[in-house]
Structure 1
């Protein structure tokens, strides 16, 4: 495993960044989160990050907390990437589009739930 892949596998550090973002009430783009972790954006780093986001959300679920991966979004449209939609949408029973106004409303609702939870604890 390369050094960057190992660092991007540190789910506790990634969780800490996402909890801070949630408490502040804002989402992070993939590029912003990678930058917070000390990396520039690249597709391999983003894929490694996405794998770790699944671990972060499984941990949050075990703690009875709202998901955090929904806060990591594409810079272009403010929505999560395909990996989140495949798993996250299914878990919420959402069968709508992954882009556009309906998707945006769905994501904003989930993000607000996470923001509210962490703002009360921050």
Structure 2
């Protein structure tokens, strides 16, 4: 397992999306066979960028928005700085109730998309 493998990270995120839940950074790292550390998290974040580029090219909703901090359930600073919020017209704070509502809406779009894809695949 590798946190540098976009296909593997994507598979874990699609499974989480189809199940309708987000993953904390530490949960995703654990699924990939790692213990949380800041360097591992930073490496994972780079891979999440590749995962989202692939999703965009396929016309799919982003998946990185499903990876959140355990403390508040929001994506980390890297997601916001890389344009996560601004790409969707959000210009508010990165923390707090308004940010939480915005993230929940984005996550719900991803959950809905992958729940439907899962239904389509199962026939």
1:43-76, CA deviations, whole angstroms, 9 ceiling, x for partnerless residues?
0000000000000000000000000000000000
Indicate the residue corresponding to 1:95 in structure 2: 91
Unaligned runs of 5+ in 2: 119-123
Q: Which residue of 2 aligns with 1:107?
A: 103
1:9 deviates by: 1.1
CA RMSD of aligned residues (A): 0.9
| Structure 2 counterpart of 1:52 | 47
Residue 121 of structure 1 aligns to a residue in which SS? Answer: helix
**CA displacement, residues 83-120 of structure 1 (integer Å, 9 cap, x when unaligned):** 10112012112110000000000000000000000001
Instruction: Could you tell me which runs of 5 or more consecutive residues in structure 1 were left unpaired when the two chains were aligned.
Output: none
Runs of 4+ with deviation above 6 angstroms: none
Of 4, 11, 15 in structure 1, the residue corresponding to residue 10 of structure 2 is: 15
Which of 75, 79, 84 is equivalent to 1:84? Answer: 79
Aligned equivalents of 2:53, 2:26: Cα separation in 1: 23
Normalising by the residue count of structure 1, what TM-score does the alignment of the two structures yield?
0.94
Give the secondary structure class of the aligned counterpart of 1:9: coil
Q: How many residues align structurally? A: 117
Measure, in 1, the Cα distance between the counterparts of 2:103 and 2:22.
Answer: 11
What is the TM-score of this pair, normalised by structure 2? 0.93
